[in-house]
């Protein structure tokens, strides 16, 4: 007897059609019957996580390297645990679908005192909370389910931000008709009048500019502009850079790429290339305090052309309703017509020899630089890891995943699990501090269960080094418990095939990394670093944060 087609099947088919091949989460009694359909689905795989917060981080990491991501939680207790992760996805424009298994519709209508509720008969408390961190949300019933699933998915993919679906247990089992046509997400069309006006003002700006530079960042990647930006830089060589969140957007081996721009904390060469121009074109940038060393960027409004997802600016004039793709296409066409001064030549990096000294932040990052490979996915947690990664020069196809806007420490470890799930054929390198890792370390168990082989560089500097640099260098609130890091994988898997090392010298790290060109199993390297040592960029950032926090 053929199983009837249901709302649960419709939702899973739509997810698969959007490029979501895995569903992260934690089972709970309100989502178990939906999970039966997940297990039976041919194109969407269930990926259980250690907790809901980790599942949200994993779905976020998955979505950053795939089309979109998804997680499943139970009502109330589960969804609130995941909310921090969803807020990070919202802040940083990552499309993640949050499916919440909820009590049956009848129980909700009657206001019954169900478990996982606040005991007041109101089943929409958490739905209302979720609306602050989602592009669209819906409570599904048997009449609206298929329509609302499509609406929320379209809004999520269009805005590149999370969507929320409350799925009552009985609604998941209701009959539905399979989708006939694919879910099409159309970008709003820009009016010809707006395009013409933008082109005119941009041409006037660029015609009078000899020195032009391009600064692009993470929103350009989120909205699919990486291919056109790379072609543009080949066709019209000019100085170009990203902020930290956009690392990997450009081919960093390409002539004209000058490095990572960090406002006043940038090298003199990068500052001059990006700031000392007649016009700097900013595509998808967000000048966050941590990315600009406390808003130290020197880019006057009159000097810049700015492209954002739904509006662009030339000097002081905004052009609303102009799509990002249309604005970039227009600027690329104008640059092909005009000529500018050639980009400055990037200084040579010089040869670095690994010495026999103890590991420091500088020696650590120089050693890591030597062993990066094309197409690596590098995840760096907020703190010394993320700000050290800013100085890396990436090989072709490599990218860096960081979360400096939302800045939730512990994010990167489950995100690495999600990224490896999405891209099993690429090497994943995770760099995280000991304080951050203690928050989400359980997901190493999921990595081992699924046979993943990431390279984990665990930076042991005895606590919250970033916080020490900002305030309270010797206060015990910046201390953490001392863990035996190299024994963690064995504790988290009965059949662990992990390899673990503890290194204190630069040459030791070099020897270990040389063995991991093609890792066959999870590799954890505990990297012992000085307690108060900071990457140069982070030293400047922490001074700015301390000053601003002090008023």
Annotated binding-site ranges for Mg(2+): 434, 461, 463
518 carries an active-site annotation: no
Which residues touch 383 (CB under 8 Å, ≥6 apart)? 409, 433, 435, 436, 464, 465, 466, 538
d(CA 443, CA 518): 22
- Structure tokens given for 268: 């003199």
Q: Strand, helix or coil at 216? A: strand
CA dist., res. 56 & res. 59, Å (int): 5
Catalytic residue, chosen from 116, 264, 315, 397, is 116
463 catalytic, yes or no?
Answer: yes
Q: Which helix (H) or strand (E) holds 326?
A: helix 324-337
Catalytic residue among 13, 52, 170, 526: 52
CA 84/CA 81 separation, integer angstroms: 7
- Note if 54 is an active site residue: no
Active-site residue, selected from the candidate residues 31, 460, 461, 478: 461
Q: Is 317 a catalytic residue?
A: no
User: 336 is written with which tokens?
Assistant: 């092909």
CA neighbor of 275 nearest in space, from 261, 255, 286, 287: 261
Alpha helices in 360-483 (DSSP H): 361-370, 384-389, 412-422, 434-440, 443-449, 465-470
Catalytic residue among 79, 170, 467, 499: 467
Please count the other Cβ atoms lying within 10 Å of the Cβ belonging to residue 259. Answer: 24
Catalytic residue among 101, 407, 418, 445: 407
DSSP 3-state assignment of 319?
strand
Token digits of residue 74: 């139970």
Q: Could you tell me which residues are annotated as the binding site?
A: 434, 461, 463
Q: Give the list of residues 6+ apart from residue 490 with CB closer than 8 angstroms, or none.
A: 496, 498
Active-site residue flag, 116:
yes
Q: Which residues, including other chains, have CB under 8 Å from residue 64's CB and lie 6 or more apart?
A: 94, 401, 415, 419
Residue 52 annotated as catalytic: yes
CA dist., res. 11 & res. 98, Å (int)? 12
Alpha carbons 101 and 71: distance in angstroms, whole number: 11
For residues 25 and 12, give the distance between their C-alpha atoms in angstroms, rounded to a whole number.
Answer: 15
Give the separation between CA 108 and CA 121, rounded to whole angstroms: 7
Please answer whether residues 340 and 210 qualify as being in contact, where contact means their C-beta atoms are separated by less than 8 angstroms.
yes
471 is catalytic: no
Catalytic residue among 148, 434, 443, 499: 434
CA atoms of 178 and 6, how far apart (whole Å): 8
Query: Can you tell me the distance from the alpha carbon of 41 to that of 52, in angstroms, rounded to the nearest whole number?
Result: 22
CB 152, CB 136: distance < 8 Å: yes
Q: Closest Cα to residue 502, out of 511, 492, 493?
A: 511
Give the C-alpha separation, 249 to 298, whole Å: 22
Q: Which member of 40, 111, 112, 115 is catalytic?
A: 115
Please identify every residue annotated as catalytic.
29, 52, 115-116, 407, 434, 461, 463, 467
């Amino acid at each position: 007897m053929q199983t009837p087609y249901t709302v649960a099947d419709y939702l899973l088919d739509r997810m698969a059609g959007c490029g979501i091949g895995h569903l992260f989460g934690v089972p709970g009694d309100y989502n178990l019957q939906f999970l039966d359909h997940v297990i039976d689905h041919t194109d969407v795989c269930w990926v259980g996580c250690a907790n809901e917060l980790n599942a949200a981080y994993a779905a976020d990491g998955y979505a950053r390297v795939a089309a979109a991501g998804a997680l499943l939680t139970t009502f109330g207790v589960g969804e609130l645990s995941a909310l921090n992760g969803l807020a990070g996805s919202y802040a940083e424009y990552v499309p993640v679908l949050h499916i919440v298994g909820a009590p049956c519709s009848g129980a909700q209508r009657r206001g019954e005192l169900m478990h996982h509720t606040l005991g007041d008969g109101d089943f929409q408390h958490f739905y209302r909370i979720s609306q602050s961190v989602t592009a669209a949300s819906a409570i599904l019933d048997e009449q609206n389910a298929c329509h609302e699933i499509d609406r929320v998915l379209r809004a999520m993919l269009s805005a590149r931000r999370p969507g929320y679906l409350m799925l009552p247990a009985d609604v998941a089992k209701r009959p539905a008709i399979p989708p006939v046509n694919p879910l099409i997400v159309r970008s709003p069309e820009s009016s010809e009048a707006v395009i013409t006006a933008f082109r005119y003002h941009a041409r006037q700006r660029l015609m009078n500019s000899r020195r032009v530079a391009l600064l692009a960042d993470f929103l350009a990647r989120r909205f699919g502009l990486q291919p056109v930006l790379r072609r543009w830089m080949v066709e019209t060589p000019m100085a170009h850079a990203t902020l930290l969140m956009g690392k990997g957007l450009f081919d960093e081996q390409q002539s004209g790429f000058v490095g990572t721009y960090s406002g006043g904390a940038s090298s003199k060469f990068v500052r001059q290339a990006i700031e000392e121009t007649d016009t700097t074109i900013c595509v998808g940038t967000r000048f966050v305090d941590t990315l600009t060393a406390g808003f130290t960027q020197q880019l006057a409004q009159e000097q810049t052309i700015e492209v954002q997802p739904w509006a662009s600016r030339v000097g002081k004039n905004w052009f609303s309703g102009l799509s990002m793709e249309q604005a970039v296409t227009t600027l690329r066409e104008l640059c092909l017509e005009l000529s500018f001064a050639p980009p400055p030549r990037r200084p040579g990096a010089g040869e670095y020899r690994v010495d026999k000294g103890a590991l420091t932040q500088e020696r650590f990052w120089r050693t890591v630089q030597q062993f990066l490979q094309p197409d690596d996915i590098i995840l760096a947690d907020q703190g010394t890891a993320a700000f050290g990664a800013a100085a890396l020069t990436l090989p072709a196809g490599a990218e860096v995943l960081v979360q400096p806007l939302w800045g939730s420490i512990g994010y990167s470890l489950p995100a690495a699990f999600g990224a490896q799930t999405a891209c099993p054929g690429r090497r994943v390198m995770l760099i995280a501090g000991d304080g951050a890792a203690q928050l989400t370390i359980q997901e190493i168990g999921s990595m081992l269960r699924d046979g993943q082989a990431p390279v984990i560089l665990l930076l042991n500097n005895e606590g919250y080094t970033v916080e020490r640099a900002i305030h309270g260098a010797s206060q015990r609130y910046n201390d953490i418990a001392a863990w035996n890091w190299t024994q963690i994988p064995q504790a988290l898997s009965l059949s662990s095939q992990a390899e673990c090392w503890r290194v204190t010298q630069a040459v030791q790290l070099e020897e270990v990394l040389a063995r991991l060109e093609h890792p066959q199993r999870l590799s954890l390297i505990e990297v012992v670093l000085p307690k108060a040592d900071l990457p140069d960029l982070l030293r400047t950032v922490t001074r700015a944060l301390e000053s601003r926090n002090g008023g």
